Structure 1
Amino acid sequence: MSRPRILSLYEGLFAGGARVLHTNVITGLHVDGAHEHSVLSIASQARREGALQPMTDDPRYRWLREAGIEVSDLGREAGVVAPAPESFTAAELEIAADAAARADVILTLKEQPLGLLLALDARGLLPDVPIAACLHRSDPTHSGAAVRWLGELAASGRLTSTISCAESTSDAYARFLTPAVDRFVIPNGVDLARYRPKPYERMPLRTQLGIAGAAPVVVFAARFDAMKDPGLFLRAVASHARRDARAQYVMCGAGMTADNTALTAAITEAGAPADRIHRLGIRDDMPRVYRSADIVALTSAFGEASPLCLIEGAACGATPVTTAVGDAAQVVSGIGLVTPHDADAIAGAWAKVIARRPDYRAAALAARHRVGSGRMLDAYRGAIDGLAERADVAA
């Protein structure tokens, strides 16, 4: 058969690790000639974590376009709740049906876009092609109605497979699927050419922020959301700052800005030193941020699967310290620390890493080979080619 045509459905193009991962996968497979990829985004902008994020301003959108991937959208605004099947208009379904009709395989980024596929199926507009849901959570109960749509699509026989980024994800979603749905697990990986140590880049961001070269820096790369538990991070900052007068803390991601009053209130409530917390918001230079850091911290309460920030930070030489969520413990095995959901315990782990910083940095850099994107792209290529071959045989 000719080069398979793969359509990816996004709820929207806005800040988030799953979008980074999926976009890297399809751009890599498109550029190397494995497939012809295209993207349909339900939303053209997102209002999340108190920020309006237009699709065309998003780095993921730019990566797709620079790779020559067609990107279209339905013009909606994404919010906290994914669009239900009954909410789609005839005009929106016509656009989606046209995009789907040109695909040999359909991928969905997470379960949120599945409402669109159910709406197409209910009107006889969904082509008979393999459909794979790419899943990136370890707690589907926090997906709202979207996990029910996953179950409905599986029960109808239209869902062919799931591709999960972690064993915890695959296991968590299994109860919503039928035995006929194939389940693949492909661990996350990162571009080691982009996420790599550059000693001379340790200082530029520190200098910009007024942070001394010898000061310990803890980076929290996450959106301002209950899943990420920024309150726990800030309580750990308060505990750690009392132990270490030199340490500085960097928060980046959607909502991590000085004009977010909820974040300001959380800093005050935690008793954390506001003058040592740098709120940088959404960044498109995360390798530079990680290279300035000693620790990349994650304090998530639920939902994480294979957290990308831990892998990215470690590949740049930062030591990952995380709560035990999803497959995080496996991700940081041998290169970082896992903590309970306790501020003092987290602060103690940070202190331990700082005290033995050269050893932990050396361990992270020695393990870079295991987090590269090459084997991940090969696995996705194989899974998608298998789906395309199935469609070719059926035709």
Structure 2
Amino acid sequence: MTRSIRVLSLYEGFFAGGARILHSDVVAGLTREGTQEHRVLSLTASARRDASLQWARDDTRYRRLRAAGVEIDAFDRVAGDRPIAPEDFTPTELDHAATLFAEADVILSLKEQPLSLVVALERAGMLPDVPLAACLHRSDPTHSGPALSWLADAAASGAVTATISCASSTAEAYARAGVHASEARVIDNGIDTRRFRPGTRAERRRIRAGLGIPETAAVILLAARFDAMKDPGLFLRAVAAHARRTPGAHYVLCGSGMTPENPAFRALRAGSGVGADVAVHALGLREDMPELYRIADVVALTSAFGEASPLCLVEGAASGAVPVTTDVGDAARVVAGFGLVTPRDVDAIALSWEEALAQRPTLRAAALAARSRLDRRRMIAEYGGAISGLLLRDALAA
């Protein structure tokens, strides 16, 4: 094939989340390389998430793709608590989708939720014969709701020809759940190490001063949306325990819904035992995550389920923070050598934060030494190879 490979990515919508960051990095990176021509179809134009309405056009991932020259189509819908079902699509939407599918050489689905569109097209006899890979980012697909059955059915019918998982735990979990595509790949996550880097002393002083954090105070950071999967209640209870043992520490929470304006967050904090005198900075959704990581001594993760290869751990580590995580997905493998793994127990988490602070010079040096293998350029190259491989295999089979 002498022309560029045409790739269509399906998004449920544009809203904050690690999977969207990763996939958008891949799409933008491969577009800039010029050997592939990428386009995106979003099933929604806005999203109601974590007590707020987020417009696609305002999303950082959306703007980054447009800046890279990626064309984005979006249905006039709002993403909510449940994915759009196959029977919900209108004839006009199916016609438009079928046209975009037919123009593509390869189709990628960002997670399983957009596959409702594939199921709808297949039921209507409108699905072109194009290789399609589902890009998977969970370690517990049973929390995907009806989308899991759409993926399993589409894989069984051959509509989904491959899966690309971001972690070994993801690939294994989906196989156990009955998803059996003809090809399964694992591509580890990668990050932009130019953005996520250690801060200079002057930078750290400036950023901390802007948040009212003393230069010498210990900072524990949770970068996560307000969701049961992330278990912010466990984090806050661990804050209460840690604050009793380490007076003067500051705790930063950022992510959609992590704000006092969210009544559920206020209620969770009120019941957590965190004293009024404890310095908790609930910042909500932020676009300056690299700066926040630079002031953190510890980047914490208290997730209960669903994680595969959490981005916050490697973003924090590449910025000089020590990751401390519960044992979810591939998290233990990801932080091996420069982070700590803790049981999902309040006192154990607080003690692990103390240990991380005590060992910070050694663990920080190990994390910074691992920056090259965390870089996203390796991930983008592997995705490029996987896409080319899908097209080649399809051509050989024909």
TM-score (norm 2): 0.97
Q: Does structure 2 retain, via aligned residues, the 8 Å contact 1:74–1:95? A: no
Equivalence for 2:272: 270
Equivalence for 2:310: 307
Shift of 1:241: 0.5
RMSD (Å) for aligned C-alpha atoms: 1.2
Matched pairs, number:
395
Shift of 1:92: 1.4
Q: Does structure 1 retain, via aligned residues, the 8 Å contact 2:199–2:295? A: no
Matched, 1:91 2:92: yes
Equivalence for 1:80: 81
Equivalence for 2:250: 248
Shift of 1:366: 1.2
Equivalence for 1:320: 323
Shift of 1:97: 1.4
Equivalence for 1:47: 48
CA distance in 2, matches of 1:24, 1:270: 37
Equivalence for 2:58: 57
Unpaired runs of 5+ residues, structure 2, are: none
CA distance in 1, matches of 2:223, 2:284: 9
TM-score (norm 1): 0.98
Q: Does structure 2 retain, via aligned residues, the 8 Å contact 1:138–1:303? A: yes
Match of 2:300 among 279, 297, 301: 297
Identity within the alignment, %: 59
Deviations 1:33-82 (A, max 9, x none): 13100000001000011111100110000000000000110111001111
Equivalence for 1:371: 374
Unpaired runs of 5+ residues, structure 1, are: none
SS at match of 1:75: coil
CA distance in 2, matches of 1:390, 1:182: 10
SS at match of 1:56: helix
- Amino acid of the structure 2 residue aligned with 1:78: A
Q: Does structure 2 retain, via aligned residues, the 8 Å contact 1:267–1:273? A: no
Shift of 1:356: 2.4
Q: Does structure 2 retain, via aligned residues, the 8 Å contact 1:300–1:325? A: yes
CA distance in 1, matches of 2:35, 2:295: 36
Q: Does structure 1 retain, via aligned residues, the 8 Å contact 2:155–2:180? A: no
- Amino acid of the structure 1 residue aligned with 2:206: P
CA distance in 2, matches of 1:288, 1:260: 24
CA distance in 2, matches of 1:82, 1:372: 32
Greater Cα offset, 193-202 or 106-115: 193-202
1:179 and 1:149, CA in 2 relative to 1: closer, same or farther beyond 3 A?
A: closer
Q: Does structure 1 retain, via aligned residues, the 8 Å contact 2:156–2:181? A: no
- Amino acid of the structure 2 residue aligned with 1:196: R
Matched, 1:345 2:351: no
Equivalence for 1:215: 217
Q: Does structure 2 retain, via aligned residues, the 8 Å contact 1:150–1:177? A: no
CA distance in 1, matches of 2:363, 2:287: 26
Equivalence for 1:329: 332
Greater Cα offset, 336-345 or 204-213: 204-213
Q: Does structure 2 retain, via aligned residues, the 8 Å contact 1:202–1:293? A: no
Shift of 1:178: 6.1
Equivalence for 2:16: 15
CA distance in 1, matches of 2:18, 2:198: 20
Deviations 1:122-160 (A, max 9, x none): 112111000000000000000000000001101111111
Shift of 1:193: 1.2
SS at match of 1:43: coil
CA distance in 1, matches of 2:275, 2:101: 52
CA distance in 2, matches of 1:90, 1:299: 43
Equivalence for 1:356: 359
SS at match of 1:202: helix
CA distance in 1, matches of 2:269, 2:336: 31
CA distance in 1, matches of 2:61, 2:206: 25
SS at match of 2:76: strand
CA distance in 1, matches of 2:72, 2:280: 37
CA distance in 2, matches of 1:133, 1:351: 40
Matched, 1:149 2:150: yes
- Amino acid of the structure 2 residue aligned with 1:312: E
